[in-house]
Structure 1
Amino acid sequence: MKKVALSGLGVVVMVFGGITVVVPGNAAVPASPVAGQIMVKFRDDAAAAGVLGQQGLSDGPPIGSTGAHLVKVPSGKELQLAGALGRNPAVEYAEPDQLVTAATADPYFDRQYALQNVGQSFTNTAGTVTVAAGRNDADVDAVEAWNVTTGGGTRVAIIDSGVAADNDDISPQVAERVNFSDKTILGPDDYDRYGHGTHVAGIVAAIANNSAGVAGVCPGCSILDVKVLNDSGAGSSAGIAKGIDWAATHGAKVINMSLGQRVSSRTLEAAVNNAWNQGVVIVAAAGNAGTQAQVYPGAYPNVIAVAATDNNDAKASFSSYGKWVDVAAPGVSVYSTFPNHPFALETQYGSSEGYDILSGTSMASPIVAATAALVWSTTAGTSNTAVRTKVESSADPIPGTGSYWAHGRVNACRAVGALAC
């Protein structure tokens, strides 16, 4: 494949891990309900007051367009009351609102191999990590894809911890912002004090050829900043469901969720299905447990689940895998944007100076989301079904295809129909 010299470009990629189940590191932990609330869907909303009154509860606000309601309950009785309500014939289902966290794994490797791999070695920004040379062309051929399109303003929703307003390599790409986390935003520096969402967004759409840092896989894309995680990288299933609904109604063509939970949620799945039915392509991280255990929302049928590979096209040791995973993408030592103010992940990874590497399926997922956005901006972008099919069918069948993941490692160049890949 023809390689193109990159002048003034950097590449950033990061992995985001899990609703409820995946926490910083590689291990999965037991599901944990959000204290003081559950999610309930009634067969007839007119019966809600009576059914809840029997348990000493009151009805709560709707959760997006899922049909479920967020009901306040005494702390510590979430599972008990969800079970009791779920047995009532007037209730379609009742379930805990699960704690959501972000996850990263072994983050210090280096620079822009995900977009163009010529077998380079590199160090991270902090100078604390040297990444050994990888295999030539173990990349997604983003540079070649740009000969066809750079995104054409396609809107990609980043459902995450927010996008920092003080990094000029990604902030200008943000078209709209909304906050569904439990954190009150007090000013511009408060959009992302965890760091994960800014890294994920940069992988998608950091500005190219601006002599500043890195380039996203889809540098012509616009970002919808949907904040669902707080300063600790934690959130809830209900918050994510509301975020999905908001993104679908605000013009998102692609939704990226670098997060996941081990326990399936009917409310979350309803939000995913509603967005899919509105024509959105939905992409999510497969998780960092290193097992075949399913993680949601990635495992839902209407979501593209993404595993992580390294700069040799080998499965990352931490990456979840299995027949339920759809594609793979680089997720080890991916370079991207960080906030220029203090943030939680900075204490783990050292001084970022606005850019550094992270590892995880959280980083792999936005590469696939950005590839889908590129396809949307071509003549092949006729529907979400067509875009998903193009992304999956054009993937490179690297080792592990058919066992670790279904379709291979994504190839942006082939996905957009470029002649030279």
Structure 2
Amino acid sequence: MKKIFGAGFAAAVLAFGAINSAVAGHAAPDPSHVQGQIMVKFRDKAGAAGALRQHGLNEGPAIGDTGAHLIKVPAGKELQLIEALSRNPVVEYAEPDHAVTAATADEYFPRQYALQNTGQPYTNTKGDLKIAGGKADADVDAVEAWGVTTGLTTGGGIKVAVLDSGVANDNPDIHPKVVAHANFTNGETGDDNYGHGTHVSGIVAATKDNTIGVAGTCPGCTILDGKVLNDSGVGSSSSLASGIDWAMNNGAKVINMSLGVRSSRTLEAAINNAWNKGAVLVAAAGNGGNQTKIYPGAYPNVIAVAATDNADVKASLSTYGASWVDIAAPGVNVYSTFPNHTFVLGTQNSRSLGYDVGNGTSMSSAIVAGVAAMVWSSHPEVDQKAIRTYVESTADTIAGTGTYWANGRVNACKAVGGKCS
């Protein structure tokens, strides 16, 4: 058996273990309000400029017809400036620009910055890893996209094939989304005892608003669970090619491959067959921190995905190169599902049962796969080429675009044609 390397396996194991604790003494920003701006309404508009100038501030745009204005302030000084401005007689009121959270009942949704980033700090499940707040709106605008579609169609959820280490039978947030399963490994059970496939699948399609756990990027989607990696995170080119063929025979609209392997003619043929039959294929770019091509991501008919963090900066672990990496998505400390039984990545890296953070382009690939599936549900009349174009052309241009990746960081809302903030 050939060991598949890169984003999904050997490198993913390293990535899952390469989490650094927050630096002591650095105060976390208040997640209850948006950093760097406040809302102010003036009694005397003529005195507004002078009142702001006293604090080194400038006038800002009106907030609709409310009479209030959005004022840019130094991050971390919001409450201090609100208090100072409130004492000025020309100010009717000054208040924080409170963070609006999604109407979701999922317990850990506030930790899912990839879907909605208000600059919130959070922790891992055990609470021993403190993750500093990032950049507000450095996310994929999933909540706004859900106003258009969650991946549901009249025929059911869009089918996303996750070719990985399986989906845990005992995680109720993701296992019920599995509509078909096949095992392409030798002598393994169908369950996920490695942990990677469950984490990836949860990022794609975990159930939303069920009071537990997390929400998937495409929460209305369903999963085709193709186990191509054994319980040590190892597979073969032939098992992956067989998994791709199985996925197409079972109605996959999107195939996610959070893994890497050396190029082979057989694998490329399977990729091209799936593309020609109408599937969108997505794969991790790899966790080498260099520009070395990883397959299947580097094949022309696959969307290769690099990783960013919660400040919209390229993850240090991410493989990159705009000549072949197509797009980026969050891949650092991404919160998702894990097995509720002992699993390899848990014992190697002290991961909690049920839910925890993970790192790597594996996570990024899963997000883009979920976005592609939502685009299918919002544009069912188009072909796979158009779906890929929607995903790539609507990405947000961030630092590294054109250098680290050809397009920007994926934006689900823009991709599905929603009203985006």
TM-score relative to the length of structure 1: 0.75
**Mapped partners of 1:324, 1:115: distance in 2:** 25
Say if 1:260 and 1:298, in contact at 8 Å, map to a contact too: yes
Q: Secondary structure at the match of 1:235?
A: coil
Aligned residues: 326
- The letter for the 1-side match of 2:378 is T
Tell me the residue number matched to 1:216: 216
Q: How does 1:34-49 map to 2 (within 5 A)?
A: none
Q: CA deviation at 1:22?
A: 5.5
Distance 1:370 1:106, change over 3 A: same
Equivalent in the alignment of 2:269: 270
Is 1:20 aligned to 2:5, yes or no?
yes
CA distance in structure 2 between the partners assigned to 1:257 and 1:26 by the alignment: 14
Amino acid at match of 2:297: G
Quote the RMSD (CA, aligned, Å): 1.9
CA distance in 1, matches of 2:326, 2:271: 16
Match of 1:170 among 174, 177, 182: 174
Question: Contact 1:260 / 1:287 at 8 angstroms: preserved in 2?
Answer: yes
State the Cα deviation string for residues 106-151 of structure 1 (Å, max 9, x = none).
3578921000000000100022211011000000000000000000
1:25 shift after superposition: 6.0
Which residue is 2:316 aligned to? Answer: 317
Note if contact 1:105-1:318 (Cα within 8 Å) is conserved in structure 2.
no
Q: For residue 348 of structure 1, report the CA deviation from its aligned partner.
A: 2.6
| 8 A contact 2:15–2:317 mirrored in 1 | no
Note the alpha carbon deviations across 1:175-206, whole angstroms, 9 max, x for none: 00000012332xxxx51000000000000000
Aligned to 1:259: 259
Q: Which residue of 2 aligns with 1:157?
A: 161
Matches within 5 A, 1:282-293: 282-293=281-292
Alignment CA distance shift 1:107-1:339 (3 Å): farther
* 2:4 maps to amino acid: I
- Secondary structure at 1:345's aligned position in 2? helix
Q: Cα–Cα, structure 1 residues 245 and 23, in superposed 2: closer, same or farther, change >3 Å?
A: closer
State the SS of the aligned residue for 2:344: coil
Query: Do the aligned partners of residues 356 and 207 (structure 1) sit closer, same or farther apart at CA in structure 2, a change above 3 Å counting?
Result: same
Deviations 1:201-235 (A, max 9, x none): 00000000000110000000000000001111001
Q: Deviations over 1:73-96 (max 9, x none)?
A: xxxxxxxxxxxxxxxxxxxxxxxx
Listed one character per residue, the Cα deviations across residues 371-392 of structure 1 (whole Å, up to 9, x for unaligned) are 0000000136511101000000
Alignment partner of 1:410 is 2:410: yes
Q: Percent identity?
A: 63
Large movers: runs of 4+ above 6 Å:
none
Residues 10-409 of structure 1 aligned to structure 2 (within 5 Å): 19-21=4-6, 26=11, 104=16, 106-107=18-19, 111-152=111-152, 153-185=157-189, 191-261=191-261, 263-322=262-321, 323-379=323-379, 382-409=382-409
TM-score (normalizing by structure 2): 0.75
* In structure 2, C-alpha distance between the alignment counterparts of 1:168 and 1:328, rounded to whole Å: 29
Q: Deviations over 1:335-389 (max 9, x none)?
A: 0000011100011332513000000000000000000000000136511101000
Tell me if the contact between 1:123 and 1:131 (Cα under 8 Å) persists in the aligned partners.
yes
Structure 1: unaligned runs, 5 residues or longer: 1-17, 28-100
Give the unaligned 5+ runs of structure 2: 22-109
* Cα distance in 1, alignment partners of residues 207 and 324 from structure 2: 33
Distance 1:171 1:408, change over 3 A: same
Q: From the superposition, tell whether residues 299 and 104 of structure 1 become closer, same or farther in structure 2 (CA, over 3 Å).
A: farther
Kept after mapping to 1: 8 A contact 2:16/2:349: no
SS in 1 for 2:256: strand
Counterpart Cα distance in 2 of 1:205 and 1:108: 28
Select the structure of larger CA radius of gyration.
2
Contact in 2 for aligned 1:232/1:344 (Cα 8 Å): yes
Of the structure 1 ranges 316-325 and 345-354, higher mean CA displacement relative to structure 2 is found in: 345-354
The secondary structure found in structure 1 opposite 2:144 is helix
Letter aligned with residue 176 of structure 1? A
| Higher RCO (C-alpha under 8 Å, 6+ residues apart) | 1
Name the CA distance, whole Å, in 2 between partners of 1:112 and 1:389.
26
